[in-house]
Amino acid sequence: MSDELSLSPEPEPDDLLVEASLRPKTLAEFVGQPRVREQLELVLEGARRRGTPPDHVLLSGPPGLGKTSLSMIIAAELGAQIRLTSGPALERPGDLAAMLSNLSPGDVLFIDEIHRIARPAEEMLYLAMEDFRVDIVVGKGPGATSIPLDIAPFTLVGATTRAGALTGPLRDRFGFTAHMEFYEPEDLEKVLRRAAKILGIDLRPDGAAEIAARSRGTPRIANRLLRRVRDYAEVRADGAVTRSVARAALAVYDVDELGLDRLDRAVLSALVRSFNGGPVGISTLAVAVGEEPSTVEEVCEPYLVRAGMLARTPRGRVATAAAWAHLGATPPPGSPAGGPAALF
């Protein structure tokens, strides 16, 4: 796995090196997500006119779609400072109390992976979000007292890849929830053009279209593929990223026309060839390809489902007719249709 090009939407070490420079800085620079952008514009403009911090914002959606970028944009658009932390970092309520009591009026507090916040910190957050107050507990046992402390009015921006894992009381305290969707290919082309300009890559329109189609609806993956294709273009061609260069480069990295990698294809192939299209349980399928069930479930499956190749049924995973066709096999009668039509 290690020497391959990863198609996981989670950041790889070399993504992190360039992401800071590739992050859009303003709402206008933020490509795609038209609904989220319009809603957010209204929320921010309303707050600006009233001269108060906007409602707390929850950003939910799969990895690599721009939640962290958007949180920084919210702060920038408000002309506010942003403080960054994450759910796992807030294990003890004292950690959160320290952050909250250091806020200046109007600051944006960004909590990444907010669904992983520990319960006592979460409870402290309720009061902070609602009344801009924290109760600091001093001492232990029966002698413990709590001291109420006012904190500066702030805006909490929470990001989560698993909105369903948030507790009701926490979810209810956000005034605005933005659901990030996978990007359309045309939007990914814009993301790629912008990144190419920043990185000084000679990206041609047909090359951009080819990379966008294989990027799994995810800007982070689009930018990663662009960098790998650029290597190929510089080493094996004249540096220009055209369609044929992109195709040749991505063939080297085993990324097919639909953006499926070797593991995705192994999963589909096992489903079709070893289990005659299913239904089969996820753990059986994982054993068949020699992977952890969680890898198959969290890395491969979401995109295979979205690409219309695999369906989840109560009895297990089923290959769609499109999956059989993608592997060059004839689907048995009764296979669900699926296919790229189900893509967007």
Ligand X SMILES: Nc1ncnc2c1ncn2[C@@H]1O[C@H](COP(=O)(O)OP(=O)(O)OP(=O)(O)O)[C@@H](O)[C@H]1O
Q: Which of 112, 187, 261, 264 is catalytic?
A: 112
Beta strands (DSSP E) in the chain are 57-60, 82-86, 108-112, 133-138, 145-150, 155-160, 176-179, 310-313, 316-319
Positions in 160-189 near ligand X (CB under 6 A): 161
Positions in 186-225 near ligand X (CB under 6 A): 191, 194, 219-220, 223
190 is in an annotated binding site: no
Q: Which residue is nearest to Mg ion (CB)?
A: 68
Token pair listed for 301:
């499956």
CB of 70 to Mg ion, least distance (A): 9
Cα 185 to Cα 33: distance, rounded to the nearest angstrom: 12
317 is in an annotated binding site: yes
CB of 155 to ligand X, least distance (A): 17
Residue 220 binding partner per list ligand X, Mg ion, none, with a CB distance cut-off of 5 to 8 Å that depends on partner kind: ligand X
Residue count of the chain: 344
**Of 10 and 292, which has the nearer Cβ to ligand X?**
10
Residue linked to tokens 């510089």:
234
Binder of ligand X out of 69, 155, 215, 320 (CB under 6 A): 69
**Of 67 and 230, which has the nearer Cβ to Mg ion?**
67
Beta strands (DSSP E) in 38-144 are 57-60, 82-86, 108-112, 133-138
Contact flags string 5-34 toward ligand X, x per CB under 6 A: -----xx-------x--xxx-----xxx--
Residue 216 binding partner per list Mg ion, ligand X, none, with a CB distance cut-off of 5 to 8 Å that depends on partner kind: none
Local structure of residue 318 (DSSP, 8 states): E
**Burial degree of 132 (CB within 10 A; 0-12, 13-18, 19+):** middle
Token pair listed for 211:
């990379």
**Of 191 and 309, which has the nearer Cβ to ligand X?**
191
**Of 17 and 138, which has the nearer Cβ to ligand X?**
17
**Of 71 and 320, which has the nearer Cβ to Mg ion?**
71
Cα 335 to Cα 312: distance, rounded to the nearest angstrom: 13
CA-wise closest residue to 221 among 1, 6, 71, 17: 6
Q: Which of 67, 224, 230, 265 is catalytic?
A: 67
- Residue 68 engages Mg ion in binding (rule: CB under 5 A): yes
308 is in an annotated binding site: no
The string of DSSP letters for 302-316 reads HHHHHTTSEEEETTE
Does residue 81 contact residue 108 with C-beta atoms inside 8 Å?
A: yes
- Is residue 161 annotated as part of the catalytic site, yes or no? yes
- Is residue 197 annotated as part of the catalytic site, yes or no? no
Rounded to a whole number of angstroms, the distance between the first and last alpha carbons of the chain is 29
CB of 72 to ligand X, least distance (A): 8
CB of 160 to Mg ion, least distance (A): 10
Find residue 236's DSSP bridge partners.
Answer: none
Query: In which region does residue 56 sit, left (phi positive, over 0), alpha (psi from -120 to 50) or beta (all else)?
Result: beta
Q: Tell me the backbone φ, ψ of residue 319, rounded to 5 degrees.
A: -80, 140
The set of catalytic residues is 67-68, 112, 161, 220
Residues flagged as binding site for DNA: 312, 317
Residues flagged as binding site for ATP: 22-23, 64, 67-69, 130-132, 173, 183, 220
Residues at the interface with Mg ion (CB under 5 A): 67-68
Residues at the interface with ligand X (CB under 6 A): 10-11, 19, 22-24, 30-32, 63-69, 161, 191, 194, 219-220, 223
Residues flagged as binding site: 22-23, 64, 67-69, 130-132, 173, 183, 220, 312, 317
